[in-house]
Chains A and B, each alone.
Chain A
Amino acid sequence: MHPIPVFRHRWLPWALLAPQLMVTLVFFVWPALEAIYQAFLVQDPFGMSSRFVWFDNFIQLFEDPKYFESLVSTLVFSAGVTVLSMGLSLLLAVMADGVVRGASVYKMLLVWPYAVAPAIAGILWMFMFDPTIGIVAYALEQIGYHWNHRVNGDEAMLLVVIAAAWKQISYNFLFFLAGLQAIPRSLIEAAAIDGARPFKRFWTIVFPLLSPTSFFLLVVNIVYAFFDTFGIIHAVTHGGPGTSTTTLVYKVYHDGFIGLDLGGSAAQSVMLMLLVGVLTVVQFRYIERKVQY
């Protein structure tokens, strides 16, 4: 038996936790409660008075085709970002894993984009693809493609997907690389002796062994695409043209702060909160159980 250290102070733990608790309460719990409360109110146009309307905001939301358009945009956007960023980062990680000389330089360069703020990343891509002054738009013009994401909704979507994926590649890359390096060399060698060619080795040995990493990244990437891409969209397209790149998160901002429909915006926030909750549950339930060998 080890003596159990007795911690006598009742107030000290609370004092030590206080800063974190304050931040959480003030910047998370309070606004969240406020949003839930707001979701049941309707403001007058000047913000002078508000009225309790029960679930009217939600009913309106579900009857609004624009909301479902936005949901579809979000799904397209998230799928695009997740597939593109995970695919590319896996490719890069597999290549980086094989690099012997200068590996650390290579890794550092690949990790760099993660240090770029989302809005700046957005601006970067916006400038490159700018229909009048962008270098990529110019290059596309030369090969006969007229790029204008300010008019063409699909091009706008493609651009924000690329910009958002680019930022996430670094993060995915690091995890994939760590995952790859955790696979014992002898397994690959055994597979080589067992007659599997490199491509087959990858799909039958490496990829299954990466599945816990992949699943983790899948959830992280979906969460990222859903909730953390406001900055990029705001910088690149402002949700336009029309509403073609208005994701759910962007719509919350747009309806609330541009449209001044605070109640409706709050109702959307509540829906997003539920979605986050579901994703979190999925992440915790399955991440450790479902994907393992």
Chain B
Amino acid sequence: MATLTLQQIRKTYPNGYRAIHGIDLTVTDGEFIVIVGPSGCGKSSLLRMIAGLETISEGEMKIDDRLINGLEPAQRDIAMVFQNYALYPHMTVYANMAYGLRNRGAPKAQIEEDVQRTAKILELEPLLARKPAQLSGGQRQRVAMGRAIVRDPKIFLFDEPLSNLDAKLRVQMRLEIKKLQRQLGTTAVYVTHDQVEAMTLADRLVVMNGGVVEQIGTPMEIYERPATPFVAGFIGSPAMNFMPGQLHGRQLQMGERMIDMGLTTDYRGSVLVGVRPEHLHREAGAPHRLDMHLSMIEPLGADTLVYGELTEGRENLVARINGHFKAGSENSMRLHFSERDLHIYCEQSGQRLN
């Protein structure tokens, strides 16, 4: 149970590479924060700085009110689940879980009790005498979780813990992690590049790119009002469609079409207009429309993804169509959308305008 505060955290590696350019973040007690971003965006560096495995170049990091910049990992009272699990291969599951308690000089009876209780929560009891090599991927993952939980730390850190599992197990473990974190009420920071994991697990999401925080918010806030074109393109699958446009005060011009956005901004000039594939409809319920040339169709069962090009602008376009889509002989289709589902960004600064 703890809050974690980051103030203007920066990381510069000895070779001069600046991995993180000033991050401010406050994680409240019991919150599940997911840091998401493409490879090399600095998310792992940030997590390792919280863990104490990397030094903090600039800024202040606090757990509750204690400054932890100079503390050893062990003194920070955190627990971390690694991508490759990092189980001690020469120790049994029991010893793996007891290791941290032993190092802290807990009495033997206490260790026994804590390990047994944790094993019970995670259904690891029959595996306690085994070595990690004798476990399946999911079981190893669970032991790694157990090792983190058993010490009852202030903060859980997860470094892409599910990326070594197969798809089915990943979904299952995802749910379990979320349930466990709720149940224990421990503050958690979770790093991933998988946006589905990010959306489903997070209380709040931190989207990072190139060492900078692009946006912080709840998953739905970020999905509905992405602050930058990067966030808009990164969160959501398939990715958002972008088209060029011109903004004249409250009027948006796309090709020949004028759309009244009802904006209060007085910005005039080139903009990027984004619309999510799921907000392009075949039904004529929405006021605006566009035409696309079809190039490919991917039926997903519940939905069908339709790929093509915008007839007037040649931009690539994806639409998510409900249910069946019978590909007829026609090679173009008309799609409808509402101005409420448009995302408008300044072409130069990337700033959101609506």
Contacts and interface: CB of A to CB of B under 8 A. Distances in A.
B84 A193 contact: no
A187 B86 contact: yes
Nearest to B79: A193
B146 to A, nearest CB: 13
A20 interface: no
Nearest to B132: A293
B84 A196 contact: no
A200 B105 CA distance: 13
B218 to A, nearest CB: 29
A293 B90 contact: yes
Nearest to B78: A193
Interface stretch (B96-104, B272-280, B336-344): B96-104
B299 interface: no
B86 A190 contact: yes
Nearest to A208: B90
A193 B133 CA distance: 22
Interface residues of A, number: 19
Contacts of B82: 186, 189-190
Looking at chain A's contact residues, the main secondary structure is: helix
Interface string A234-248: 000000000000000
B80 interface: yes
Contacts of A205: 88
Interface string A193-206: 11111001000110
A193 B89 contact: no
Interface string B45-86: 000000111000000000000000000111000111011101
B103 A293 contact: no
Contacts, number: 60
A17 B78 CA distance: 62
Interface in A124-141: none
A96 interface: no
Assign chain B's interface to a size class. Answer: 20 to 34
A209 interface: yes
A208 B89 CA distance: 9
Interface in A187-239: 187, 189-197, 200, 204-205, 208-209, 211
Interface in B200-229: none
Contacts of A200: 103
A209 B90 contact: yes
Given A184-B86, A195-B104, A293 B133 contact: yes
B21 interface: no
B131 interface: yes
A193 B103 contact: no
A195 to B, nearest CB: 4
Interface of A: 184, 186-187, 189-197, 200, 204-205, 208-209, 211, 293
Given A189-B80, A293-B90, 7 more contacts: A187-B86, A189-B73, A190-B80, A193-B79, A194-B147, A195-B74, A293-B89
